[in-house]
Amino acid sequence: CISSAASDVYKRQVGMTGIVTEKIDGEYGEVKVDGKKWTAYSDEQIDVHEKVKVLQINGVKLKVKKEGK
């Protein structure tokens, strides 16, 4: 079980922007948000170096979308 303090740290990622470090293409990719690397997924293909916005966190995976969409 994640402690309340740790849970708040994770929730803080929602709404933040990051950069794709491993292409997201139907499966999981990787993003860097707030200096940390996260496994990420999206409803769209997102290439390396594109900026993304964090929509939600599911466990230790982030759902993201291209920034500006």
Cα 15 from Cα 34, distance rounded (Å)? 11
With CA atoms as reference, report the closest residue to 13 among 51, 48, 57, 65.
Answer: 57
- Whole-number pLDDT of residue 29: 98
- Whole-number pLDDT of residue 41: 97
With CA atoms as reference, report the closest residue to 23 among 9, 11, 35, 39.
Answer: 39
pLDDT at 2 over 60: no
Segment (H or E) for 19: strand 17-22
pLDDT at 69 over 70: no
| DSSP string across 1-26 | ---HHHHHHHHTTTT-EEEEEE-BSS
> What is the tens place of the pLDDT at every residue in 4-59?
554 565 667 888 999 999 999 988 999 999 999 999 999 999 999 999 999 999 98
